[in-house]
A and B are shown apart, each in its own frame.
Chain A
Amino acid sequence: MLNIIFYFQVHQPYRLRHYNVLDIGQGTPMFDDKLNSEVMKKVAQKCYLPTNALLLKLIKEHEGRFKVAFSITGTAIEQFKLYSPETLDSFKALVDTGCVEILGETYYHSLAFMYDSNEFLDQVHMHRDLMMKEFSYHTETFRNTELIYQDRLSDLIFEIEGFKTILTEGVDRILQWRSPLYSYKNYSKRINLLLKYYQLADDIAFRFSNRDWPEYPLTVNKFVSWIDKLTLNETKGRNQFLNLFMDYETFGEHQWAESGIFDFMRHFPGEVLKNDHLGFAHPKDATSLSNYQQESISFPEAVSWADEERDLSAWLENDMQRNAIETLYELLEKIKAKGDEKLLPLARMLSTSDHFYYMCSKYFQDGDVHKYFSPYDSPDQAYIYFINALAEMEEKLLR
């Protein structure tokens, strides 16, 4: 049996205003409420609401056989409440079907794991509480920001929070001869790992509307036939997992409605379920479905799902990114030491990984992707506003 595991990332950052030195101490808001509201409303109209409606319909049609998982950040939930409460309601309706798994992550979609383990665990815990509060859902599976993972993370997540499964990227240099279609154990054999099958996931997420792609247009039949082929190599009856992880904004936002992405999704589950040996599963099902001795796999270096490199270079490569993030975590520590409850959430909003992504200056084709997502003219601008915001917070702490 091959189990298709859909996991969709739902995230919106708090974008910073073009925050200048002369704004410091003036009481000017640091975050661009207007832009954040516009983006949320736009994405809700183009993606969240129509896709949620479609998924709800599919789940009902297939009577429990179609399943998906979501990871929804705390900053997204907060902004739903501020700018698009109907979106939050539609997610709740989906969760209520019982066919949706909610994953755990950091509340602020941060890189805290790389800089401050205590802050990381705080944010993971905050997120878990939020999921319980909003969806009455106890998360069992963890995915770190941008699927960032290394061995050390599994220890923290297992020992402190008791998660049973972690999702990450199926990076070739780690997998080597192994297939991402099987579940694995982490290096210490205590927790399950599910690895993204990036070729097929990215066919939907990145290539779907690309007319230069030889396989364009991607039809449901073609895609299901590719999936079907994957089962041919498995002759011992082991359960396989096809992990299709992607940004939820793929639907209607990154791939526009005109590209046919919604039609694709509308017909995909039915076509899959025509085959007895194909089905859908939740990430948490991997524990019971792994009907074989899982191999242990070690990730000594951090990986992620971003860019060609699938490492941390999208956020932590250049000097601007490093100086910015180090200064932020120093400030977070000072704020905690002083016990300033007002500044803490603001500083944490600055810990969202997007801020560092905007500062990325890689000049390869991935740079284009970064530019597409950035509200600023250049990485330098993003850096200047961020550093100014940190100066503002520090002055506030002194005041």
Chain B
Amino acid sequence: MKVLMFTWEFPPLISGGLGMACYGMVKALLNLGIKIDLVLPTREMVYFPLREVSDVDTLPVVFIDKGEQSKFEKLRFSNDSERLEYIGISDSPESYIQLTSVQRYSISLKKEYWLSERMSGEERDVWREMTNHLVGDEDLIHKVQEFTLRAEKIAKLLEFDLIHAHDWLCYPAGMLARKISTKPLVVHIHATEFDRAGGPGDERVHKIEHAGMTYADKVIAVSQYTAQMIMSRYRIDTAKIRIVHNAFTVPEDAVFSKERIFKGPVILFLGRITLQKGPDYFLEMAQKVLASHPDARFIMAGTGDMSRKILRSSASLKLKNRFLFTGFLNRKQVERILRASDIYVLPSVSEPFGISPLEAMAYGITSVISKQSGVAEVVNHAFKIDFWEVDLWVDTINHLIENPEKNIKMGIDGMHEVNKIQWDEAAIKIRQLYSATLAEYIRRQE
């Protein structure tokens, strides 16, 4: 079985949980013998033919353009990262794509596919929903347009059995690939606009999400929480939805031993500093906990649109040097901050899954997580609290600080539990879903 997969993030091109999830999932799928042609928003027009498990780390590259490919083959790179740099991959996913031809793109979409006679009225509505909303002057929209254009070339060039697209940025690409190839499309919901925005969000994104899920043959939700959201907010046919929880695989070079930076207890927030993740609740907790435990330190690791607001508020609350900001951290730095932490908190307002608590638990750190999260469905050895119950979060953190032996035990139990949540299990579910989808597709063809 060969899958054409579109995703916006894949290590080293990574900014959040999506990249980590795709990495673990793809690795486990390869292990099951499934072949994957991976397409990423790289600067150069390339795809990654992944066949062996080890390919997830080396990322073999093929240029779509034959001339570019032969040029590339003549080049010698001293290491993988140099090679990946050549095709335009570095640490930050937002910096790759240059807008080529937006106009050409939308014309081609409309003329060639949307207006084609083979399209049913219902199908046309979905296309219209997608194309009409894939407009705007924001860099991101331009990038999605460019990415979708690339999908057209790839879908014509490659042979595959099935298409798998992760999150709305890749839905237009997935839809186009399905239209061209007529192969079935699986869309994977890691987060919806409602989660990301912590409110209604951008209308265009809703429409694209709705179009993608409607056009898809199957929809994978990362949790029951997300499945519920898809049903209630997007009115997607329940029969199409499958739940596959994310997992966490510890990197092989991981070091777990504690290495303290601070003498006092350290409480960690790790993730994008954005409304969805509840950074303002973290600040409120810090203020209240510090009132009774002035030797604690609260560390806010990550960046985001609310960084400045939280920073300024922490100063105005006079939290001294007890509330610290790390800025963006790479994977090794994340490990160092985890090794230095005692309690991990995830006060998300809406979290479809939330891999980062699993990572924290793998490092033996007690996790306190929002009930409004998918990850709460898969772990038992963690505290689960409604995000708005700030005093309960505060009591919990205080309790853990005051009972360090309990905190350690909870951390160890959590570590054992997380070690059992493996991607292999999730990959088996995905394979079953692929097979069922293909079987339906073949039946439909006959």
Contacts and interface: CB of A to CB of B under 8 A. Distances in A.
B263 interface: yes
B266 to A, nearest CB: 10
B263 A22 contact: no
B312 interface: yes
B311 A21 contact: no
A130 interface: no
A20 B316 contact: no
Interface stretch (A199-207, A224-232, A316-324): A316-324
Given A25-B261, A326-B318, A398-B263, A320 B333 contact: no
A383 B315 contact: yes
19 contacts: A21-B301, A21-B325, A22-B326, A22-B329, A319-B312, A319-B315, A320-B315, A322-B318, A323-B314, A323-B316, A323-B319, A327-B320, A380-B311, A383-B311, A383-B315, A384-B311, A391-B321, A394-B321, A395-B261
Per DSSP, chain A at the interface is: helix
A20 B311 contact: no
Contacts of B315: 318-320, 322-324, 383
B434 to A, nearest CB: 42
A313 interface: no
B320 A323 contact: yes
Interface in B303-325: 307-308, 311-312, 314-316, 318-321, 324-325
A395 B263 contact: yes
10 residue pairs, one from A and one from B, having the closest CB atoms: A319-B316, A319-B315, A323-B315, A390-B321, A391-B321, A320-B315, A327-B320, A21-B326, A387-B321, A398-B263
Interface in A322-340: 322-324, 326-327, 330
A49 B176 CA distance: 68
Given A323-B320, A383-B315, A387-B324, A24 B262 contact: yes
A239 interface: no
A212 B337 CA distance: 52
Sort chain B's interface into a size bin. Answer: 20 to 34
Contacts of A25: 261-262
A388 B327 CA distance: 12
Contacts, number: 67
Contacts of B319: 323
B299 interface: yes
A28 to B, nearest CB: 12
B333 A22 contact: yes
Contacts of B314: 323
Contacts of B320: 323, 326-327, 330, 390
Interface residues of A, number: 25
A318 B315 CA distance: 9
A324 B315 CA distance: 8
B336 A22 contact: yes
A328 to B, nearest CB: 9
A384 B333 contact: no
A58 B325 CA distance: 52
A26 to B, nearest CB: 8
A248 B273 CA distance: 43
Contacts of A384: 311, 324-325, 327
Contacts of A322: 315, 318
Interface string A379-399: 010011001101100110011
Given A21-B261, A21-B325, A319-B315, 6 more contacts: A21-B324, A22-B326, A22-B333, A25-B262, A383-B315, A391-B324
A326 B262 CA distance: 21
Nearest to B308: A380
Contacts of B316: 319, 323
A22 B266 CA distance: 13
A240 B209 CA distance: 78
Interface in A2-22: 20-22
B321 A20 contact: no
A366 B314 CA distance: 25
A347 to B, nearest CB: 12
A320 B327 contact: no
B295 to A, nearest CB: 9
A342 to B, nearest CB: 18
Contacts of B325: 21, 384
A319 B319 CA distance: 11
A30 to B, nearest CB: 13
B210 interface: no
Contacts of A327: 320-321
A324 B316 CA distance: 10
Contacts of B178: none
A266 B185 CA distance: 80
A264 B340 CA distance: 59
Contacts of B371: none
Interface string A298-318: 000000000000000000001
A286 B301 CA distance: 57
A326 B329 CA distance: 29
Nearest to A331: B321
A326 B321 CA distance: 10
Interface string B127-153: 000000000000000000000000000
A398 B299 CA distance: 19
Contacts of B308: 380
Contacts of B261: 21-22, 24-25, 395
Contact of B297 (A320, A323, A380, A391): A391
Contacts of A395: 261-263
